[in-house]
Structure 1
Amino acid sequence: MGWNYYQKNIASTQVEIQTEPQAFQEPAIAITQPTESFSCDGRQHCSQMRSRAEAEYFLRSCPNTKMDGDHDGIPCENDSRF
């Protein structure tokens, strides 16, 4: 009984799928990268950072940082400013 319902109601209303490739269209809204740029300048501690993004950059890119005590890759977890 269920199969008969499917054949009459669902299968007969299927939409034809277009198989020709579509031309690429530019997105309506461009996604931009953040304009902030950081550089390693010797700072090592969370108290010296101005933002979470800056701390993440320093942890990832600069030597001898002291911002990730539990070594989980997340800097300044206990800093309430961020």
Structure 2
Amino acid sequence: MKIILIICLVLFGYQYFSEKQKREQLSDQEVDSPTISQSINTFKTTTTKSNFSCDGRIHCSQMHSCEEATFFINNCPGTKMDGDNDGIPCEQQFC
């Protein structure tokens, strides 16, 4: 009888911690993902400032000009165009 009780407790503990880990991962994803208001602000920024828009491009090889690269690093999340963090993107290619 004690063995059955121990097995039940172990299974309950495993399920509890497994669900807890899933909840933590979901809450981390919610923090990392942009909110609706952030998305709207990005859309407003991209449509009012220039002819460029955030479309998922993040590398210099995907840009066509210094102006486009500058727009992307100033307005789009996750860009990888300013290796030395001086605010000037794609220095070897365009700027």
- Report the TM range for the smaller structure's normalisation: 0.5 to 0.7
Superposition CA RMSD, Å: 1.7
Asked whether 1:53 is paired with 2:67, we answer yes
Equivalent residues, number = 47
1:52-71 alpha-carbon deviations (Å, 9 max, x no partner): 10000000000000000000
Structure-2 residue corresponding to 1:73: 87
Name stretches of at least 5 consecutive residues in structure 1 with no aligned partner: 1-35
Q: What is residue 30 of structure 1 aligned with on the other side?
A: none
**TM-score, normalised on structure 2?**
0.46
**Higher relative helix content:** 2
Identical columns (%): 63
Q: Equivalents in 1 of 2:60, 2:91: separation in Å?
A: 9
For the pair shown, the structure with the greater C-alpha radius of gyration is 1
Aligned mate of 1:37, from 51, 55, 71:
51
Deviation at 1:78, TM superposition (A): 1.0
Which whole-Å CA distance do the structure 1 matches of 2:67 and 2:84 have between them? 19
CA displacement at 1:38 relative to structure 2: 0.4
Q: Deviations over 1:29-82 (max 9, x none)?
A: xxxxxxx51000000000000111000000000000000000000000011x55
Q: Secondary structure at the match of 1:58?
A: helix
| Structure 1 runs, 4 residues or longer, greater than 2 Å off | none
